[in-house]
Structure 1
């Protein structure tokens, strides 16, 4: 994805550390729903780290299905009736669930753009060239390959068109989480020593800002 190994390694480390932190939070949580949510965040970070190195491409479809299922899970939480308090409770929690569903869907879309759909054209062109390998039709082979490649391209092009708005969306989310983080720091300075829960909130804002920035950077690379 990135031409610079330094950037790839830096993002890999960030994603894996974030994944480990979410997994630790899941292990410490006493609520089943929170455990599931944190575990899904950890899984998403690990899958995105693997995406940077194109690891285990044979399982790409399964990974996309898992991320799509995670997005649906957060949507269900966001629209659940108020009496289901084990799910998203209150407008702020519901908004967080909506954002997390978009994050999971964004990761699934990114994997789709880099997975089988992205390489489909590269497999069709050689096949077309082989089917017209005789001397009589040798000149027509490049044209056939071009047509075949063009037939596979529109679907991928439609997905790639989403990269720019998603870059803007996650860049905006990064800015919002940074503002929230700064405000929480200001609240600490105003009210003195903060509680453990407030520290957890600050840490959450920091992780969300970092995760959104990584998503924005990866989508920006795909839109170039």
Structure 2
């Protein structure tokens, strides 16, 4: 995805560290729902890291299906009735579940867009070869035009997603800084909020990575 190996390795490290943190939190969680949510975040981080290296492309449809199912799962939590307090209870948690559903859906869409781009690259090469002066088939330019048109649509879709996740990264960064300021004011009483700050930091990093990856597709 990125021409610079240093950027690819840096993003891979961020995603794998994030996935490891969520996996550890899932193992420590006593609630089944929270354990499932953390596990899905860990899985998404690993799939995005694999996406950077174009690994296991043969399982693309399965990856999309899993992430789409995860997005639906977070939507169900967001709209669940209040008595189901094991799900997203309270307006703030419901909003968080809505964002997580959008994150899962965005990751699924990114995999689909990368698959389309890879397929387009494979189709462009023979189309260009067929359009040489020795070829007399009129279908080659049309095929080339169709592939390019599909890639253009992906680029147009990637731009608003870049903006969305860029804004999300800024919002979570602000929440992280506000939490640090509150910690400095409250002193030792702020220990229970340490995990909240860690989650805000991971959300900010995750949103920034998503924005950066979508930005490469919108270029």
Q: Which residue matches 1:188?
A: 183
- Per the TM alignment, residue 196 of structure 1 is displaced from its structure 2 partner at its CA by 3.4
Post-superposition CA distance 1:87-119 (Å, at most 9, x none) = 10000000000000010011111111111x223
Picking from 128, 142, 148, the partner of 1:147 is 142
Unaligned 5+ runs, structure 2: none
* Residue 72 of structure 2 is aligned to residue 77 of structure 1: no
Q: Distance in 1 between the 2:149 and 2:87 partners?
A: 39
Aligned-residue offset at 1:191: 1.4
Number of residue pairs matched? 219
Go from structure 1 to structure 2 and tell me whether the alpha carbon gap of 1:8 and 1:128 turns closer, same or farther (over 3 Å shift): closer
What's the counterpart of residue 109 of structure 1? 109
Q: 1:122 to 1:167 in 2, by over 3 A?
A: closer
Alignment-derived partner of residue 25 in structure 1: 25
Superposition pairs of residues 110-125 of structure 1, within 5 angstroms? 110-115=110-115, 117-124=116-123
What is the correspondence of 1:127-206 to structure 2 with a 5 Å cutoff?
A: 138-141=134-137, 143-206=138-201
**2:62 counterpart residue number:** 62
Kindly state the Cα deviation for residue 153 of structure 1 after the two structures are TM-superposed.
4.1
TM-aligned CA distance change 1:61 to 1:181, over 3 Å:
same
8 Å CA contact 2:127, 2:144 repeated in 1: no
CA contact (8 A) 1:129 1:144 kept: no
State the match for 1:2 in structure 2. Answer: 2
**For each residue in 1:167-223, what CA deviation from the matched residue of structure 2 results, as whole angstroms up to 9, or x when unmatched?**
111111111111111111111111111443200111111110011111111111111
* 3-state SS in 2 of match to 1:69: helix
Distance in 2 (alpha carbons) for counterparts of 1:26 and 1:154: 42
**Alignment TM-score, normalising by the size of structure 1:** 0.90
Q: Distance in 1 between matches of 2:120 and 2:198?
A: 43
* 8 Å contact from structure 1 (residues 125, 146) kept in 2: no
- Distance in 1, Cα, partners of 2:194 & 2:9: 29
Change (3 A) 1:5 1:69: same
Relative to structure 1, the CA distance from residue 148 to residue 80 in structure 2 (aligned partners, 3 Å threshold; closer, same or farther) is same
